[in-house]
Structure 1
């Protein structure tokens, strides 16, 4: 079985389990996530590989991290994630990418990400659930962070925090790559 097939099977198994644990019907999860009932059925039957955006919407609606949907081993107190096991979630032909480095599931998902944003590249993010916070620290270059249509320049050595339920995007308008570390905290579902 290929890695992609294993990922598809894990996603299907975990989505079914997490939806059942929360008592969500297909219609309820579709309404909470903004993902169609048909797409959720296809994912649960391992008949499709959803986009990163779709996976994030479902994880947010379930109140779990992406890795909880992808079946990462969870140790009782300490979990080490070697660099080669970080999950690449997004990349562009220009060389931009994101890697989910590590996460914690309780009380709500908390994720740590590494970003590389190539010159001229950008990433748009759908608004996350109310109460979601993002923290970021730029280690190289200057990031243009756009939150609720307002641009903020974040140069190397600078950190930012914002409410991620607002529309937001990340842009590199400079000539050098932007590198940053980001933490995302999503509140547990109510």
Structure 2
């Protein structure tokens, strides 16, 4: 199955799932999104590959990120997004562009951190409250992300998302300085 076929199948499955979870009829989603009922049917039956604009309208109407709507690698606590699987949302001839690195569905406070880890250094973290999610992007070096005892390599240029309610650590096992940006989404206090 080609990447495009896999993406089309994933979008069909996720659109049906999220529409069902929101209890939206086809007509209700069409009204909320501005996407025709017929187009929604074609997408849910994996008979078409919609434009980025249509996909964004559907994600917005469902109240989820475009990453969640397109995601076909669900199930693991950790999702590493290799460099080649990021999504370019738009670009101009002059060189401007946006690149969706990684996203998640979380509510509550959100923190953005800049990290530098020197070769051989590491940082360990106790579990955060249930519902805490971390997103990270490695801009230089290679990260070894350890979540609940399992190591996940995150290469330069790659991104990852994981639920941080288990012990986790960040290691620089390489011989160059590691630079990464990290966002932490914390559930609201109850």
Counterparts of residues 69-148 of structure 1 (less than 5 Å): 69-73=69-73, 79-91=79-91, 96-107=96-107
Larger C-alpha radius of gyration, 1 or 2? 2
**What is the alpha-carbon distance in structure 1 between the residues aligned to residue 84 and residue 11 of structure 2?**
20
Deviation at 1:87, TM superposition (A): 1.6
Deviation at 1:75, TM superposition (A): 7.2
Deviation at 1:98, TM superposition (A): 2.6
**What is the alpha-carbon distance in structure 2 between the residues aligned to residue 75 and residue 47 of structure 1?**
25
Look up the match of 2:24. Answer: 24
**What is the alpha-carbon distance in structure 1 between the residues aligned to residue 6 and residue 92 of structure 2?**
24
- Provide TM-score, normalisation by structure 1: 0.51
Q: Which moved more, 1:86-95 or 1:99-108?
A: 86-95
Deviation at 1:102, TM superposition (A): 1.1
Unaligned runs of 5+ in 1: 113-182, 184-190
SS state of the match for residue 49, structure 1? coil
Look up the match of 1:66. Answer: 66
SS state of the match for residue 102, structure 1? coil
Number of residue-to-residue matches in the alignment: 113
Give the superposed CA RMSD: 2.9
SS state of the match for residue 103, structure 2? strand
Instruction: Give 4+ residue runs of structure 1 displaced > 6 Å after superposition.
Output: none
Look up the match of 2:126. Answer: none
Look up the match of 1:44. Answer: 44
**What is the alpha-carbon distance in structure 1 between the residues aligned to residue 6 and residue 96 of structure 2?**
26
- 1:14-62 per-position Cα deviation (integer Å, ceiling 9, x unaligned): 0001000110000000011111101100100111111111100000000
**What is the alpha-carbon distance in structure 1 between the residues aligned to residue 13 and residue 75 of structure 2?**
20
SS state of the match for residue 102, structure 2? strand
Matched-pair contact (CA < 8 Å) for 2:81–2:102: yes
**What is the alpha-carbon distance in structure 1 between the residues aligned to residue 42 and residue 79 of structure 2?**
31
- Provide TM-score, normalisation by structure 2: 0.51
